[in-house]
Amino acid sequence: MKTMKLAVLVAAMTVAVGWWMAEARSDGTTQTVPTGSVPRFTVQADTNCVVDNLTGLMWARDANLPGGIQSWAQAVAFCKNLNYGGHNDWRLPNMMELFSLMDMKYTRPALSNTEGTAKWKEGDAFKGVKEYDVKDKGGVCYYWVTTTTEGEPGGAWLVTFFNGSINRENDNETTGAGYVWPVREVKDKKP
């Protein structure tokens, strides 16, 4: 039954992320999708943050800002208390927001470069993206999202940039471990 629920969730997320990236911001307001020569990501050198020009979300440039894996509760608290790049309204992303970073043309990691034209390489636009490490979780690295399983609050979800797959932490969310990639809304909606 859980496998069927997961398959339905993945199918729904694929459709929803496609729609969301094309037409809407995470707060429900619509936006015009950039076209032409606008890069996918804009690195803000003065803040060490990256703006996703498709979604209007701002991400920490360092995809491993805490420097290692944390429990879900630690990840939520880390983002809530983070003062980074001149901003203090960081949070853990939801599943759709983290999926929105992915470019499924690529694996290891499923992420494009700054221009959105080729596979990501270290430092372009992000650094420290974890996708595979033999020391963590048996090889494949996962990032926490705020999304939890309805009716099972002990089941928080994790997403991997190894190949774009998702995993539900079966343990109590305070005992599982994953990476943290903080996000925030861009208030002025300009990169």
Whole-model pTM: value is 0.76
Q: Cα separations (Å) of 51 from 56, 96, 106?
A: 6, 16, 20
Print the SS3 string covering 124-158.
ECCECCCCEECCCCCEECCEEEEEEECCEEEEEEE
Question: Residue 31's pLDDT is what?
Answer: 43
pLDDT digits (tens, 9 = 90+) for 8-52: 344 444 434 443 344 344 444 434 444 455 799 999 988 899 999
At which residue do the structure tokens 């901003």 appear?
A: 87
- Helix (H) or strand (E) holding 75, with range, is helix 72-80
Residue 156: beta bridge partners?
A: 148
Write out the two tokens for 160. 């991997």
- 16-30, 88-102, 168-182: range with lowest mean pLDDT: 16-30
